[in-house]
Structure 1
Amino acid sequence: MDRSGGQALRVLAQFVAGPLVRERLRPHRDWLDVRFCAESDDATFQAELPEAQVLWHVLRPLSASDIERATRLQLIHKLGAGVNTIALDAAAARAIAVANMPGANAPSVAESALLLMLAAMRRLPQLDRATRAGHGWPTDPAPTEQVRDLGACTVGLVGYGNIARTLERILQAIGATVLHTSTRDDGSPAWRPWPDLLTDCDVVSLHLPLTPTTERLLDRAALDRMRPGAVLVNTARGGLVDESALVDALRAGRLGAAGLDVFAVEPVSPDNPLLTLPNVVLTPHVAWQTADTFGRYLDRAVDNCRRLRDGAPLADLVGPGAHG
């Protein structure tokens, strides 16, 4: 059954499209009407929302009031895996399907996590600034005494889904010992309970969804359990970490460094103290953002739109209405 009534399916995409995205969508223009809106452009978002039948959602929080205004909406498709930015109960109450894209961004986020590990451990930002300033050969003995080869380290993965497993293979290829923790003992020799993983690892990398259970999982007590000089990497969700406690641990030198792509409040505030610390490497929630990942996102998004048009079962449904 064609649920679009013979009209082009109206899609509101919460991102700015470049030429590659538009070219990839060109073959579908006869049945797919995609309107683009920057996540910071709330005026356009609110103007387009009432006519949208499908929302391609990225990061801007989608509230219950937004969903109430979306009177034609049939599908919210998250471009990514985490759906904590969507008012799922409100969508279920309106019988609006919610889908995500598990695994689509795994290669890109895994590579970004590796990038942040190496950049934080090897003091890349400081060395880059010093080299550009013409400071010559470094005289600080700390790199010789403190900087490690990642391949000589033990890395702990918190969460063990698609991204963590992809990263595990990369880390093992360069010689690192890789441990992981998840909700239960999976029988692997590399599994550790959460407290043990913190004490056993030189690097801890977060790969969990943000839920009421995982919020501020890495609190002050957990940070205190980590090895002196350890490195924290977070490409998952900023809310997993108590940022105030993290700042204190980095300032005091209990942690050696951090590589962060995500923050408790996004976009990150200019007065966030993490931005002032020399032992922190920062990126603005772009670990997933590559042409390859976006290609996978578009393929899945278009496929689910086609399913919606044809009345076929939707793929990768999540939330309270997933089985309804």
Structure 2
Amino acid sequence: MRSNAERSLSPSGSVIALALLGAAACLAIAFSLASGAVSIPLHEIWRYLFQDYAGPMKEVIWNIRLPRTLVAALVGVHLALAGALLQGVMRNPLADPHIIGVSSGAGLAGVTLLILFPHLPWLLTPAAFAGALLAAAIIYGLAWRGGIQPVRIILAGVAVSAFLGSGISALLTFYSDRVGGALVFLVGGLAAKSWPQLNVMLPYSAIGVAITLAGSAHMNIMGLGDANAKGLGMRLEATRLLMTAAAALLAASAVSVVGLLGFVGLIVPHSARLLIGGDYRVLLPASALLGAAVVTTCDTIARLAFAPIELPVGVLMGVLGAPFFLYLLRRDAD
């Protein structure tokens, strides 16, 4: 992985890049609110949201489109930040919550709860966090041999992900009469997401985003290599543990709401790094804004592409993410 100091933008360039990404996120949100079975002009959306203006579509905006759009944007923020953190901690541009098994740990815990304890939905996010954190700890332990090597991380992650995926398949086989609620969870979709799901995510967002942004300078130091980081006085393993826990919290809270939505944590941070460089003080907010724009746009396209049939957004992200992953893998092998 390249040094974080390489190809970073100037301060003014970083501000401009963040402003453009923020504008892209706002446009994606506006596009989502305006699009659906009935298109709504932007000036009417403004009235419904910010003025005392009644109309037949106000309930559609407030109770269907707005909460779903905000959930999509927040999921994009969570998964993008989780991917950026894992890529930095594990020093591997191919690291992603879905690929290396962190999301699979959250998914196995979530599917177990949905199938065996469907009457305890309030436990879904804490259970997913515990599963994600345990998966991350196992991967980290398997890959550790006097230090972290990128290849060992990917191999350990793929193995753990396959093992946890087998556990999910076993649950679906043994409890085939209860899999209805788990199928959408496995694909990753935003259908019927509303204010309750947004309220579930917000506390985890506040904690995870705060830890992530506060640790941005430490992520830069970590990118200098273990020896240099320790020479500068960093408590390296404690920092890695905290950042990994933050990534697991962000990924798990997203997974608990939207299901196993893959490749966001791979595509978005890497794209942001190509645009603005590797300074985590800028890369993390840039990844968050780009993640919100990407997931919101993909969800809108998934809603409209085969209307009235709705395509789960996880299917579209898989179509986009798999070729991107292969491109990164081939480029790193060259």
TM superposition score normalised by structure 2: 0.31
Higher helix share: 2
TM superposition score normalised by structure 1: 0.32
Higher strand share: 1
